[in-house]
Amino acid sequence: MQIQNIIADSDLTPALRKIAEKVFESKRIDTDEAVLLYREAELGFLGILANHVRNTKHGDRTYFNRNFHIEPTNICIYNCKFCSYVRKINEEGAWEYSQEQILDKVREYDGKAITEVHIVGGVHPHRDLHYYGKILQEIKKIRPDLHIKAFTAVELDFMIRKAKVSLEEGLTMLKNYGLDSIPGGGAEIFDEELRKEICDEKSSTNLWLEIHEMAHRVGLPSNATILYGHIESYEQRVDHMNRLRQLQDRTGKFNTFIPLKYRKENNSMSHIGEVSTLEDLRNYAVSRIFLDNFPHLKGYWPMIGKSTTQLALSFGVDDVDGTIDDSTKIYSMAGAEDSTPTLTTDALVELILKANRIPIERDTLYNTVKEYH
């Protein structure tokens, strides 16, 4: 459908037509318009707008990387209601890898074309930044070329405070130990009242934003996330994204936005159920349209499954994460589709090709490693 036909569509309200005009003219929509898209726009209309933004930024190029995860422990001082992962010390199902066990996991990839290790876990009460920093140091000795993306803002907050240094000092120390970038986890939902209800003990919204802004200042790029599909409203989703957009306006150092779907198994919010695949696609589309200053939008395939990931490539998503190699338990413990998340490079390439997109193997910072046809 031609752009002028979309804008002139008689079925569109004047407000939706105005939003379409803004999107096709590369103008920023405001928060009220984003809420309107959530509430009133048909899914097909959202797909057209989001796909336009995606194609303007990336064409048919769709990114993935070769990565694996290390989750040092699921022991955590916090008790977030949505979490299916957390255990306490000596509780059944808890794990706590030693430094040598963590390094052994890295050694398992000797000789393999892996470009990134992603390290996140619970907030362990006895481990500070020097404990983890020495692990980063040893990983770099084993694989100097490996990009280390590690520690959510919530983990960073605790380990830096435990080391009794300032935020800037702590992040600089970790960078010197070998940290290359930080993931986007722990953001959950920024609305303060809702945050009190679902993760009251966790680091505050302002602190999450402060940690990422400081990381950007000391030369550590990062990602950003939202946990959606639980008890949040559309207004709260948009407020969350608006705070990220404002921070990105200041620093420009967020690589990608990753909407994370609430999964209901084995946690204290299970009674609320989960949103549909259609809502997933709606959320991806509005995210892509609203976050005009974020270069990438990721559909995290271990969380939403392979089929939905393929659909999401027509709703603004241009990145599908990586090979994973069955090295994460965070979403499988919460009931995600892929209970043993692993895809070979060939399988990821095939997934993208079947969606009529061009697979691009990237590094963590979105430099092209290889283009597939």
Tens-place pLDDT, residues 25-40: 999 999 999 999 999 9
- Are 146 and 117 within 8 A, CB to CB? yes
DSSP-based three-state secondary structure for 58: helix
pLDDT of residue 81: 65
Cβ(68)–Cβ(109) below 8 Å: yes
Q: What is the pLDDT of residues 285-307, one digit of tens each?
A: 999 999 999 999 999 888 888 99
pLDDT for residue 80: 65
What Rg do the C-alpha atoms of the chain give, in angstroms? 20
Domain boundaries, the chain: 56-371
Rounded Cα–Cα distance for residues 162 and 332 (Å): 30
pLDDT, tens digit, for every residue of 258-294? 999 988 666 667 778 899 999 999 999 999 999 999 9
**Alpha carbon distance 193, 211 (integer Å):** 21
pLDDT of 328: 43
Q: Kindly tell me if the per-residue pLDDT of 329 is higher than 50.
A: no
Tokens 């390290």 label which residue? 119
Residue 167, pLDDT score: 98
Q: Give percent of the chain above pLDDT 90.
A: 73
pLDDT of residue 9: 67
- Asked if the model's pLDDT at residue 163 lies above 90, the reply is yes
- Output b/e per residue, 266-305; b: 16+ Cβ within 10 A: ebebbeeebeeeeebbbbbbbbbbbbbebbbbbbbbbbbb
Tell me what pLDDT residue 292 has. 98
**What string of H, E and C letters represents the secondary structure of 276-291?**
CHHHHHHHHHHHHHHC
- CATH 3.20.20.70, applies to 56-371: yes
Instruction: Give me the mean pLDDT over the 138-148 stretch.
Output: 97
| Least confident interval from 49-63, 237-251, 327-341, 358-372 | 327-341
> What average pLDDT does the chain have?
90
State how beta strands 147-150 and 116-119 pair: parallel
Per the CB < 8 A criterion, the answer to whether 228 and 237 are in contact is yes
Instruction: Write out the two tokens for 217.
Output: 């200042």
The angle, 0 to 180 degrees and rounded to 10, between the axes of the packed helices 129-142 and 99-107 is 30
Residue range 85-109, pLDDT digits in tens? 677 888 888 889 999 999 999 999 9
Is the pLDDT assigned to residue 331 strictly greater than 60? no
**Nearest one of 317, 192, 198 to 243, comparing CA atoms:** 192
pLDDT at residue 327, as a whole number: 42
What pLDDT, on the 0 to 100 scale, is given for residue 199?
Answer: 83
> What's the order of all strands across the beta sheet hosting 368-371?
319-322, 61-65, 358-362, 368-371
Q: What are 190's two structure tokens?
A: 């920024």
Q: Say if residue 10's pLDDT is above 70.
A: no
**Helix or strand (DSSP H, E) at 50:** helix 43-58
